[in-house]
Amino acid sequence: MWNKIKRDFESGMDRLQWFAAIVTERLTIEISFIKMLAKIDNLEKEKEELFKSIGKNAYELSFNRTTDLYNYHKVAEAIREITCLERSIEELKKEAGEIISTEG
């Protein structure tokens, strides 16, 4: 009788450890996915700020007809940063898609 209880208890512990391992793995995947979404959101906000700065610079330069908007160093720098941010956002979206596709 005692051996049967011990064996059942050990079997239950094995199943509990298996379930805990699955839940832990699932939570790790979900947390990494949420972190990626947060990074994407932060990069999108940074990109919006750069768009605002370009608009502000364009407005300020509209009063000075001699300066070319695209050759203005602040605008050119913001455009380069936006391009870099867009690449980073696409890479993060691809990674997030891979996480989700391997999850199922």
Instruction: Convert the pLDDT of each residue in 3-23 to its tens digit.
Output: 888 898 899 999 999 999 999
Give the span between the Cα atoms of 71 and 77, in whole angstroms: 10
What are the domain boundaries of the chain? 2-103
| Helix or strand run (H / E) with residue 29 | helix 2-61
If one counts every other C-beta atom within 10 angstroms of the C-beta of residue 72, the result is 17
Look-up of token digits 């940063």? 81
Q: Could you report the per-residue pLDDT of 38-77, keeping only the tens digit for each?
A: 999 999 999 999 999 988 888 888 787 777 777 788 888 9
| Helix or strand run (H / E) with residue 5 | helix 2-61
- Residue 79 vs residues 33, 44, 73: alpha-carbon distances, Å: 28, 14, 10
